Amino acid sequence: MKINFTNSVAREAKMAACSPDGCEVVLGADGGGITIGQVKEAGKRYLVGDIEVLEDHSVAMMFRCFLPGEDQERIFMRFGLLPRFKTRICLDLHLLDNRTIFTNRTPGTLKLVVHGQRTELGSVERFELGMEKAFHDVRVRFEHFHLTDQMPTDFPLPRTKLVDEFGQWKGKDWPGKIHSLAELKERLEANEGPAEYPFPEWNEWGGDRTRQLKEGTGYFSTFKSEDGRWHLVDPSGCDYFSLGPCGTNPGDQCRVDSFEDLCDWLPETDDPDFGEFYKIGTTRRAAYMPLDSFKIIRFTALNMKKAYGERWHEKWEEISHHILMKNGINSQGNFPGLGMASGRTRLPYVRELPNFPTTDTLIFRDFPDVLSPEYKEKAEQYARQLSAWKDDPWLIGYFLRNEPEFNFVEGLAIADEVLHNPAQTHCRSGLIAFLKSAYTTIEELNLAWDSAFESFSELEKPIYSCSTTYPKSKPDIRKFSAHLIREYIKVPSLACRAVDSNHLNLGLRWSKAYNLDMMEGWEYFDVFSINCYDFDPTRDMDFVQHARVDLPILLGEYHCGALDRGLPATGLKGVPDQEERGVMWRHFVEKVAAHPYGVGAHWFQYNDQFCLGRYDGENYQIGMVDICMQPYPELMEAARETSRVLYQVKNGEAMPYGKLPKSVPMIGY
* 459 Cβ neighbours under 8 A, 6+ residues apart: 419, 428, 431, 432, 435, 453
Q: Would the pLDDT of 138 be above 90?
A: yes
Give yes or no for residue 342 having a pLDDT over 80.
no
- DSSP strand pairing (553-557 vs 598-603): parallel
Q: How far is CA 548 from CA 224, 525, 528, 559, in A?
A: 15, 14, 12, 27
Beta bridge mates, 141: 24, 52
* Mean per-residue pLDDT over the chain, rounded: 97
Among 517, 582, 515, 591, which Cα is nearest to 553's? 591
pTM confidence score: 0.97
Rounded CA-CA distance 666/134 in Å is 7
User: Band of the pLDDT at 343, cuts 50, 70, 90?
Assistant: confident
Model confidence band, residue 512 (pLDDT cutoffs 50, 70, 90): confident
- Report pLDDT for 202: 98
- Max Cα–Cα distance, the chain, nearest Å: 82
- The answer to whether 584 touches 560, Cβ cutoff 8 Å, is yes
Query: What does the DSSP 8-state code read for residue 69?
Result: T
Q: Model confidence over 14-60: pLDDT tens digits? A: 999 999 999 999 999 999 999 999 999 999 999 999 999 999 999 99
| 555 confidence band (pLDDT: 50, 70, 90) | very high
Q: Are 220 and 348 in contact (CB under 8 A)?
A: yes
What is the DSSP track for 493-556? Answer: HHHHHHH-SSSEE----BS-S--GGGGTTGGG-SSEEEE--SS--HHHHHHHHHTT--S-EEEE
Chain segment 253-311, per-residue pLDDT in tens: 999 999 999 999 999 999 999 999 999 999 988 878 889 999 999 999 999 999 999 99
Q: How far apart are CA 46 and CA 91, in angstroms?
A: 6
Predicted pLDDT of residue 513: 84
* Interatomic CA distance for residues 544 and 548, integer angstroms: 7
pLDDT greater than 80 at residue 112: yes
Determine how many CB atoms are found less than 10 A away from the CB of residue 258: 15
pLDDT at 389: 93
Tens of pLDDT along 62-74? Answer: 999 999 999 999 9
**H/E run at residue 293:** strand 292-297
Q: Is the pLDDT of residue 340 over 90?
A: no
Pairing of strands 59-66, 126-131: antiparallel
Residue 537's pLDDT is 97
The amino acid occupying position 13 is A
137: buried, middle or exposed (CB in 10 Å: 19+, 13-18, 0-12)?
Answer: middle
Kindly report, residue by residue over 355-389, the tens digit of the pLDDT.
999 999 999 999 999 999 999 999 999 999 999 99
With the CA atoms of 112, 116, 119 and 124 taken in that order, what torsion angle do they form, in degrees rounded to the nearest 10?
-90
- Give the separation between CA 388 and CA 404, rounded to whole angstroms: 25
The string of pLDDT tens digits covering residues 476-496 is: 999 999 999 999 999 999 999
Point out which residues pair with 89 in neighbouring strands.
49
Residue 586 neighbours by CB distance under 10 Å: 21
What domains are defined for the chain?
A: 5-148 (2.60.120.430), 362-490 (no CATH)
Cα-trace Rg, the chain: 26
Q: What percent of the chain has pLDDT over 90?
A: 98
Give me the pLDDT at residue 288, please: 81
Give per-residue pLDDT as tens, 196-245.
999 999 999 999 999 999 999 999 999 999 999 999 999 999 999 999 99
* Selection from 537, 558, 563 nearest residue 135 by Cα: 563
Burial of 492 (0-12, 13-18, 19+ CB in 10 A): buried
8 A C-beta contact, residue 53 and residue 84: yes
d(CA 114, CA 129): 14
DSSP string, 363-398: EETTEE-TTSHHHHHHHHHHHGGGGGTTT-TTEEEE
Q: What is the pLDDT of residue 131?
A: 98
Identity at 132, one-letter amino acid code: E
Beta bridge partners of 528: 553
